[in-house]
């Protein structure tokens, strides 16, 4: 039985003969302990209260910052808020065999799909190409990463998540059509697909020319050098830096560094200001192309992502034409703002000067067809399914232009005739 003794002041008295007697100063006083604990609790409660107030202040600051960022965003600046939804937040769709086959072709109708369905299609592509296995991806991490990607595309008329899906689906189509897995590594496939998925992340809807002329935050940050493409890269790797979204988490550090650098190279290649430089480089290599030459393969990957990025006119007219309307809407939003802000306006973006045929003919004739015909030297199989539709699209818009010109001429004649009658 344990026996305890206390002195008149409540201090414990040792009754173990091996222990020295407590002095009054060293005694373990219960009342003093209670007072000390009570004081300590009161102090902690006060601190909690103060910290709580700080939390409120921090939240208020965060809200103020968010408002400020949103305001900057509306003025064409950049933002860096990475939003991630919980997983699984979209239903798993069982893709029919018909859809699986259609996904591999440029004729795929991208307008028939909801966001959740597009996410499932992208998820399927990663599994089908063997990328989940190759990079030892956690399938839930892949889902979460795709959700993070989708949430960081803005609701622009053109540069939105559906455009991201279009480019990625065209890349998947070209990988299959050109039998790339037989000629390049699975790592190359992962780089091509991931760069396509990320290539326009957080696009503000105003191009590099606007960013530079308006001296936006992005232009200042990146010294007027491909501000948007640099921003897309930065957001891509901000998302990948989140452990729950890092699809390359199980890749060795050195391999990851190479993958990261390769993805950056491809996304930066989508700046159309570099179009001539990149295509010329590829033209010099294509006649003696060597798939064992790293420089050759890198150049090919840059051209492939460029092809996919601007590939809408490869698609059937009923799929391609709505994209022209979307692009012109985005162009007109920019040119209207440029006029308001006293900035230079490009004629091809001016609603008072451009028409659908004039917007498309030059682009198809001088940008798309030369690039795809150069790729065709290496992959002749793309002629029928990709190059011929471009030629057909050029002819279609030239016919439309002839009709427009005839209508304009008719109006001029009528006006002149009316003018003569008035006199």
Q: Which residues are catalytic?
A: 159
Neighbour count for residue 292 (Cβ, 10 Å): 7
Using an 8 Å Cβ cutoff, are 69 and 79 in contact?
Answer: yes
Using an 8 Å Cβ cutoff, are 317 and 393 in contact?
Answer: yes
| Residues annotated within a binding site for Zn(2+) | 163, 199-200, 309
Phi, psi torsion values for 246, nearest 5 degrees: -85, 95
Neighbour count for residue 348 (Cβ, 10 Å): 14
Place of tokens 């530079």: 212
**Residues pairing with 12 in the sheet:** 6
**Residues pairing with 5 in the sheet:** 13
Strands 5-6 and 12-13: antiparallel
Neighbour count for residue 328 (Cβ, 10 Å): 20
Task: Report residue 83 as tokens.
Answer: 């939003």
Cβ neighbors of 34 (< 8 A, separation 6 or more) are none
Residue 151 burial class via C-beta count within 10 angstroms: exposed 0-12, middle 13-18, buried 19 and up: middle
| Cα gap 231→216, rounded to integer Å | 12
| Residues annotated within a binding site | 159-163, 199-200, 309, 360
| Residues annotated within a binding site for AMP | 159-163, 200, 309, 360
Phi, psi torsion values for 6, nearest 5 degrees: -130, 150
Please give the C-alpha separations between residue 263 and each of 259, 268, 378, 410, in angstroms, as whole numbers: 6, 9, 23, 52
| Cα gap 372→303, rounded to integer Å | 9
């Amino acid at each position: 039985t344990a026996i305890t003794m206390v002195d008149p002041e409540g201090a414990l008295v040792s009754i173990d003969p091996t222990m020295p007697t407590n002095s009054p100063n060293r005694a373990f006083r219960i009342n003093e302990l209670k007072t000390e604990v009570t004081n300590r609790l009161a102090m902690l409660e006060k601190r909690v209260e103060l910290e709580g107030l700080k939390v409120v202040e921090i939240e208020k600051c965060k809200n103020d910052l968010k408002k400020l960022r949103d305001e900057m965003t509306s003025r064409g600046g950049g933002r860096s808020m990475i939003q991630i939804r919980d997983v699984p937040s979209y239903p798993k769709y069982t893709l029919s065999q018909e859809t699986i086959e259609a996904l591999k072709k440029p004729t795929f109708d991208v307008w028939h799909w909801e966001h959740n369905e597009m996410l499932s299609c992208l998820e399927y592509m990663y599994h089908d190409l063997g990328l989940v296995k190759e990079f030892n991806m956690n399938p839930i991490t892949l889902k979460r990463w795709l959700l993070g990607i989708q949430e960081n595309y803005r609701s622009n008329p053109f540069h939105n998540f559906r455009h991201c899906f279009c480019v990625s689906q065209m890349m998947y189509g070209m990988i299959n059509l050109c039998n790339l897995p037989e000629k390049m590594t699975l790592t190359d496939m992962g780089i091509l697909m991931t760069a396509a998925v990320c290539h326009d992340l957080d696009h503000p809807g105003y191009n590099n020319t606007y960013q530079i002329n308006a001296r936006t935050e992005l232009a200042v940050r990146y010294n007027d050098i491909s501000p948007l493409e640099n921003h897309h890269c930065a957001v891509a790797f901000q998302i990948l830096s989140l452990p729950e979204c890092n699809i390359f988490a199980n890749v060795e550090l050195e391999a990851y560094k190479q993958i990261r650098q390769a993805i950056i190279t491809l996304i930066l290649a989508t700046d159309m200001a570099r179009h001539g430089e990149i295509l010329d480089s590829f033209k010099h290599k294509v006649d003696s192309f060597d798939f064992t030459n790293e420089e050759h393969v890198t150049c090919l990957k840059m051209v492939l992502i460029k092809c996919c990025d601007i590939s809408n006119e490869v698609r059937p007219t009923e799929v391609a034409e709505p994209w022209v309307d979307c692009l012109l809407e985005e162009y007109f939003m920019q040119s209207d703002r440029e006029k308001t802000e006293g900035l230079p306006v490009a004629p091809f973006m001016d609603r008072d000067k451009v028409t659908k045929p004039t917007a498309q003919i030059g682009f198809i004739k001088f940008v798309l067809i030369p690039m795809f015909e150069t790729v065709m030297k290496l992959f002749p199989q793309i002629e029928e399914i990709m190059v011929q539709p471009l030629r057909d699209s050029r002819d279609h818009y030239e016919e439309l232009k002839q009709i427009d010109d005839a209508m304009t001429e008719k109006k001029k004649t009528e006006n002149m005739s009316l003018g003569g009658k008035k006199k």
